[in-house]
C-alpha cells in the first residue's frame, strides 16, 4: 500500500511485532485525519450497494470475451472489504470481497479523476470501500469493475494478517473470529453450512407436524435436570433467588406434551460445567423433539431420514468424508446392544454381565491389559461402580465405543436403567431401557428413548438421583417435583430425542474440533 509500513501478521506478540503494528496503526490514523481534512468522513453512513459480487458473476461470469462483457454490463455499485491491492502509478487493482464473493476493481486516475484517485490512495488493506462502474475483462481474463466512483466507507486501523492467506494459530483464530472470517479461506462457508443444517432441521420437523417453542434457560435449582451434568449457577438479585443455567431442554418440553402439544421441538443453547476438549464446549446447541404416541424405534427411522436429508443437502451426497473416513448415511443404520457389545469385549455373556457375575473382575483385567492409560483409568473406575448397569455403561466408553463401526452411523441400544433416569424401562427386561444413542465417527451425536411417563416410577428414579447427590455426585439430577406433578396429570406414550448440533456440524463440514464450528468457543483467558 502507498506510504504505509510493511504489514505483519495480526496477533503477533513479540516486541518487534507490537512496534510495527503500532506504527501501522498510527499511519492509518493519520490517513483517517487526511480524509476528514478533505471533508470526507472515514466512518461514513448511508451508502447502500445496489449489487453484490454474486449478482455480477451470475450476469457476466459466463461471458469470456472482453467485448461481450462490456456490451452486457450495466453500471454496478458494490461495497466490501479490500483484501488485496496492486498499485501501478496512476492505476491500481483491488480485490474487493462482499458477502457473496470477490471482485476485482480497477481504479484508474484518468477515469476516477484526480480527487477520487487521491481518496483511493488513502485506502488500505482491510478498509470497507464502495465502487461504482461497468465491468470488463482484463488481458488475464479476470472479470473486473472499472471504477468511475470510489469511496472509503470505513477506515480499518489495524492490519490484516500478511498477504491475507489466513491465520495459522488456532487460538488466535478462535479469539479473533472476526479476523478469522475475513482472512481464512472456508471459514465463512463453514458457518453458512451450519446455518443450513439448523434450517434443514427446522424444515424437516415442521414438515412432520412438529412446532417450535422456546423454554426457560434460567432454572430454579430443583428444575435444572434432564441430563447427568453439572450446571452453572447464578443469582437473581431482585428475587434474591439462586438459579442455574439449563443443562437440557427435556423436562419443560415434556410438560408441553402433557399440555397437549403432541409434537414439539426446541433448538436452544445448553450450558454444562464440564471440561473442554475437541468434542466438548461448556456452551453448546441442541435440538430436542418429542412425539406423542411414538416409540424409540419410531425415532430411529425419523433420525435416519433426518440425517440422510441433511447430509445430502449440505454435502450433496449420502456419503461424506470425515477426517479421511467415508461415512455412509444411507439407511438403515446398524443396531448394536450396549450390553452385548461391552460384555463380549470383556469376555462375558450379556446375561452374566447384567447380573454382575464376574463383571468387576473383567473390568479390572481389561484395565491391566489396556495399552492406553486413559482407557485403563475408565475401566478401573468402572470396576468401582455400585451396580452392574453402571459398570457396563462406564466400561462401554473404554472397550465398546472404540470398536463401533466407522463407515456407518450406528444406533447403540439396551442402556441399563441405572444410567437412564428418564427413560422407559423395557417390558421384557426391566434392567434395560427403551433407549438409543447414535454414534458416528466415534462421537455421540444423538440420545433418544421412549419417555418414562409413570409418575410413581419417575418419583423413585428422582429419589435415587437425590441419594447419589448426597454421596457427592455433582452430576446427579435434582428432584423436580413439579415435573412429577405434570406426569400425574397424564403424559401420553411419548418418544423424545436430543441431537447435538455442534457435533453434527463437525461431521457434515469435516471439522476436527468443536471449536471450529462454534463462532466464539470458551477459551482460557490470555495472561
Question: Could you report the per-residue pLDDT of 117-163, keeping only the tens digit for each?
Answer: 999 999 999 999 999 999 999 999 999 999 999 999 999 999 988 65
Tell me if the bond preceding 21 is cis, omega within 30° of 0.
no
Kindly state the DSSP code that residue 240 receives in the 8-state scheme. T
**How far is the C-alpha of 132 from the C-alpha of 146, rounded, in Å?**
8
Helix (H) or strand (E) segment spanning residue 147: strand 143-154
Q: Break the chain into its structural domains and give their ranges.
A: 15-179, 187-334+405-516, 349-399
The set of residues, in sequence order, having a beta carbon less than 8 Å from that of 471 and lying 6+ positions away, is none
The answer to whether 15-179 and 187-334+405-516 have equal CATH topology is no
Helix (H) or strand (E) segment spanning residue 284: strand 283-292
The confidence band for 13, taking pLDDT boundaries of 50, 70 and 90, is low
pLDDT tens profile 257-307: 999 999 999 999 999 998 899 999 999 999 999 999 999 999 999 999 999
Does position 85 have pLDDT exceeding 60, yes or no?
yes
The set of residues, in sequence order, having a beta carbon less than 8 Å from that of 223 and lying 6+ positions away, is 251, 252, 478, 480, 482, 483
pLDDT of residue 223: 78
pLDDT tens profile 456-497: 999 999 999 899 889 888 888 889 999 999 999 999 999 999
pLDDT tens profile 154-208: 999 999 886 545 577 888 889 999 999 998 889 999 999 999 999 999 999 999 9
The set of residues, in sequence order, having a beta carbon less than 8 Å from that of 138 and lying 6+ positions away, is 104, 106, 144
User: Which position has the higher pLDDT, 169 or 231?
Assistant: 231
Strand order, beta sheet including 218-219 = 218-219, 241-245, 233-236
CATH 3.50.50.60 fits 187-334+405-516, yes or no: no
Q: Any idea which architecture 15-179 has in CATH? A: Beta Barrel (2.40)
pLDDT of residue 3: 46
The confidence band for 527, taking pLDDT boundaries of 50, 70 and 90, is confident
pLDDT of residue 475: 83
**How far is the C-alpha of 429 from the C-alpha of 425, rounded, in Å?**
8
pLDDT of residue 18: 81
Does position 224 have pLDDT exceeding 90, yes or no?
no
Strand order, beta sheet including 211-212 = 211-212, 263-271, 283-292, 494-500, 443-450, 432-440, 410-416, 335-337
pLDDT of residue 15: 79
Q: What percent of the chain has pLDDT over 90?
A: 85
Residue the block writes with cell 503477533: 12
Contact, 283 vs 276, CB < 8 A?
no
Amino acid at each position: 500500500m502507498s506510504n504505509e509500513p510493511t504489514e505483519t501478521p495480526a496477533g503477533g506478540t513479540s516486541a518487534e511485532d507490537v512496534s510495527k503494528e503500532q506504527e501501522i496503526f498510527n499511519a492509518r490514523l493519520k490517513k483517517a485525519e487526511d480524509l476528514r481534512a478533505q471533508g470526507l468522513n472515514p466512518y461514513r453512513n448511508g451508502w447502500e450497494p445496489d449489487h453484490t459480487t454474486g449478482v455480477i458473476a451470475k450476469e457476466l461470469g459466463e461471458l469470456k470475451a472482453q467485448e461481450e462483457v462490456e456490451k452486457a454490463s450495466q453500471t454496478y455499485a458494490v461495497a466490501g472489504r479490500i483484501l488485496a491491492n496492486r498499485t501501478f502509478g496512476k492505476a491500481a487493482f483491488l480485490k474487493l470481497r462482499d458477502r457473496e464473493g470477490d471482485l476485482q476493481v480497477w481504479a484508474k486516475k484518468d477515469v476516477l479523476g484526480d480527487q477520487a484517485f487521491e481518496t483511493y490512495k488513502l485506502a488500505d488493506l482491510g478498509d470497507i470501500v464502495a465502487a461504482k462502474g461497468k465491468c470488463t475483462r482484463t488481458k488475464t481474463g479476470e472479470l473486473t469493475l472499472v471504477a468511475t466512483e470510489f469511496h472509503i466507507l470505513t477506515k480499518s486501523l489495524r492490519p490484516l494478517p500478511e498477504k491475507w492467506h489466513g491465520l495459522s494459530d488456532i487460538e488466535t483464530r478462535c479469539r479473533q473470529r472476526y479476523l478469522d472470517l475475513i482472512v481464512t479461506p472456508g471459514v465463512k462457508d463453514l458457518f453458512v453450512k451450519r446455518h443450513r443444517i439448523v434450517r434443514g432441521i427446522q424444515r424437516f420437523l415442521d414438515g412432520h407436524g412438529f412446532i417450535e417453542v422456546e423454554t426457560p434457560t434460567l432454572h430454579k435449582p430443583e428444575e435444572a435436570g434432564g441430563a447427568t451434568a453439572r450446571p452453572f449457577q447464578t443469582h437473581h438479585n431482585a428475587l434474591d433467588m439462586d438459579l442455574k443455567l439449563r443443562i437440557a431442554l427435556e423436562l419443560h418440553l415434556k410438560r408441553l406434551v402433557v399440555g397437549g402439544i403432541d409434537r414439539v421441538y426446541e433448538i436452544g443453547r445448553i450450558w454444562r460445567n464440564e471440561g473442554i476438549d475437541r468434542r466438548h464446549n461448556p456452551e453448546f446447541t441442541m435440538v430436542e423433539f418429542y412425539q406423542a404416541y411414538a416409540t424409540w424405534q419410531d425415532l430411529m427411522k425419523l433420525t435416519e431420514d433426518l440425517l440422510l436429508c441433511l447430509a445430502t443437502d449440505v454435502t450433496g451426497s449420502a456419503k461424506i468424508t470425515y477426517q479421511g473416513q467415508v461415512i455412509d448415511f444411507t439407511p438403515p443404520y446398524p443396531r448394536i446392544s450396549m450390553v452385548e457389545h461391552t460384555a463380549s469385549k470383556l469376555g462375558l455373556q450379556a446375561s452374566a454381565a447384567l447380573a454382575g457375575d464376574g463383571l468387576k473382575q473383567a473390568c479390572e483385567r481389561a484395565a491391566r491389559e489396556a495399552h492406553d492409560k486413559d482407557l485403563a483409568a475408565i475401566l478401573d473406575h468402572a470396576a468401582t461402580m455400585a451396580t452392574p448397569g453402571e459398570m457396563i455403561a462406564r466400561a462401554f466408553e473404554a472397550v465398546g465405543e472404540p470398536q463401533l463401526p466407522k463407515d456407518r452411523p450406528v444406533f447403540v441400544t439396551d442402556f441399563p436403567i441405572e444410567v437412564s433416569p428418564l427413560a422407559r424401562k423395557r417390558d421384557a427386561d426391566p434392567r434395560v431401557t427403551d433407549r438409543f444413542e447414535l454414534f458416528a465417527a466415534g462421537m455421540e451425536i444423538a440420545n433418544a428413548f421412549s419417555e418414562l411417563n409413570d409418575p410413581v416410577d419417575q418419583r423413585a428414579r428422582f429419589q435415587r438421583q437425590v441419594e447419589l447427590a448426597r454421596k457427592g455426585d455433582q452430576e446427579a439430577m435434582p428432584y423436580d417435583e413439579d415435573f412429577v406433578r405434570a406426569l400425574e396429570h397424564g403424559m401420553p406414550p411419548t418418544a423424545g430425542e436430543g441431537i447435538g448440533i455442534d457435533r453434527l456440524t463437525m461431521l457434515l463440514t469435516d471439522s476436527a474440533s468443536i471449536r471450529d464450528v462454534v463462532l466464539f468457543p470458551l477459551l482460557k483467558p490470555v495472561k
